[in-house]
Structure 1
């Protein structure tokens, strides 16, 4: 079939994972429909990549364009929810470094057969948009699609909505950024002059949703902006001393756990604090952010196709817990824009 429209992860032993500043940052920058921040464990059936227990961790972070509940103020109510933003966070053995791979929502991939939350079968498809997996089959289908695409077994899945995003940013006291040019985006309702700003939750949400007014106006440009924001957010967590202040760490953890799903093994403040401490020394220089190597689809410029050679270099490196080689993104359309330069130091 060809398509061009847009409870628990199990396998081997269940492992506790550290929700780190990297995972929080990646989760916080995406606009996901649902209920706040969710660290969900999903029940997945069928063939999955081998669980390589080498000390590394892989977390799928999804964003959606849901407008249900408290999120309806951000636009008209749409049917269902799509994964508007997707990232795979790979934390290397030793928890001293991490890589974040952004997957453009319009990437055409093979979507495997899966089952939605109501037990209904979702047929597989060739050349399906990546974000259709979440729309049609929910988180479990999105995880299966990411695993099919990468050959990497996902340890966990994170979900955040607009409201959860804003609360986390506000709990951190905002995020300080320096813009190199004006931002005036009617759709994200963000207007910033060039210079240094401390963004509150509402403004930060507008920044990571900004698309039309930066770079070439594409989703690839928005991804570059989001990647720059990750680094600003990591700096903010370190600058305000979250890990050196027991009270601040407790308050941030409490903000997160109030929205964590019941199946999470990090559903208490003490668990979250204990695991978050595992990567407290990670800084922006220890985190590499890239966009999956892609090219524009000759049949439809609004879609992108993975570059086979570059993509395989990315997934092979992560499967073997190795750094992603610079050559992987050399010919990628995802690195051709200048949107990342909008935020100084991004």
Structure 2
């Protein structure tokens, strides 16, 4: 079955008792136009959703949902802007290496302004020493920010970041290592360039100097690589930003191939967890608003070495406060 026939059949199927949220979205997009026009809009919608996936908000079919924090939260300012928290965890559910007590290996706060033009993605260093609030039965404590997930999951991570920044997080997305590998493989691999060869047994990564196409396993090793350059978490974050930008560029190239878009979205949807308010209708609305967006500008929370441990960092003030004020 060719790709366009598959999409036409899917469009026809939507004429018969689609899910309520999808039916509302379809009617809003298509109105009473002829069937061929509806199919064209469906293809456009799939492409738009792929663009949204590249900006770290992929939630077509969720693997699971995450409860929002309880108690006091920053005020929700109705401006049309959105703040989305994306975390990558070191859990590998379903693999032989799965373990309990996972931590966040990557924490990314994505700010989408009301006009959706200049998107900003801020990396929060996992080695940040911060005050973590009480989460359920776990008392408040001072520790590395990635331990918030270990003790209270994504809900506690959101609560911690909201407490530290006074930024209201509108949506949250969780991706584990196994899911990350599946997404990279669904993209057909991702290209990176190394200034020097890599042979790191800990991250299970071996690469020559120059340009390489990484599969999912290799991309995960690249994301986690520490024994390279100065070995710092800050340099690791810079490499992650390079990899994420390459993934976004690869995803955009898929938009002319509906079959690849459909396959990619199927993998992405089954690979993540998000808050329950990030449903299909919300996602399609957000996706269509991102059509003309540029790739995100990547930043890192301003930091200085911790006075108690040179291998850890603390946020530099007032610089960090000024950065997050923009997000509010």
TM range (shorter): 0.7 to 0.9
1:70 to 90, 95, 112: 95
Distance (Å, rounded) in 1 between the aligned partners of 2:225 and 2:230? 12
- Give the 3 Å change call, closer, same or farther, for CA 175–223 of structure 1 in structure 2: same
1:52 aligns with 2:70: no
**Residues in 2 aligned to 1:78 and 1:41: alpha-carbon distance in whole angstroms:** 19
Distance (whole Å) between structure 2 residues aligned to residue 20 and residue 247 of structure 1: 12
Change (3 A) 1:27 1:206: farther
Structure 1 unpaired stretches of 5+: 1-17, 29-35, 116-120, 320-346
Give the number of equivalent residue pairs: 279
**Are residues 1:245 and 2:266 paired?**
no
Alpha carbons 1:294, 1:307 under 8 Å: kept = yes
Q: Is the 8 A contact 1:20 1:275 kept in 2?
A: no
Task: Return the alpha-carbon distance in structure 2 between the equivalents of residues 241 and 68 of structure 1.
Answer: 28
Q: CA deviation at 1:315?
A: 0.5
5+ residue gaps in structure 2? 1-47
Higher relative contact order (CA 8 A, sep 6+): 2
Q: CA deviation at 1:82?
A: 1.3
8 Å Cα contact 1:40-1:157 kept in structure 2: no
Contact 1:174 1:199 in 2 (8 A): yes
Structure 2 CA distance for partners of 1:83 and 1:37, relative to 1, 3 Å: farther
Residue 282 (structure 1) shift: 3.2
Question: Which residue of 153, 177, 184 maps to 1:162?
Answer: 177
CA RMSD of aligned residues (A): 2.7
1:99 has 2:120 as partner? yes
Give the counterpart of 2:108 among 51, 75, 87. Answer: 87
Q: Which has the higher helix share?
A: 2
**Higher Rg of the two aligned structures:** 2
Q: Distance in 2 between matches of 1:251 and 1:20?
A: 11
Equivalent residue in structure 1 for 2:199, among 184, 198, 203: 184
Whether the 8 Å CA contact 2:132–2:143 is kept in 1: the answer is yes
Alignment of 1:113-124 (within 5 A): 113-115=134-136, 121-124=137-140
1:222 aligns with 2:236: yes
**Is this contact kept in 2: 1:90–1:318, CA < 8 A?**
yes
Match of 2:271, SS state, is: coil
Matched, 1:203 2:218: yes
The normalised TM-score by structure 2 is 0.76
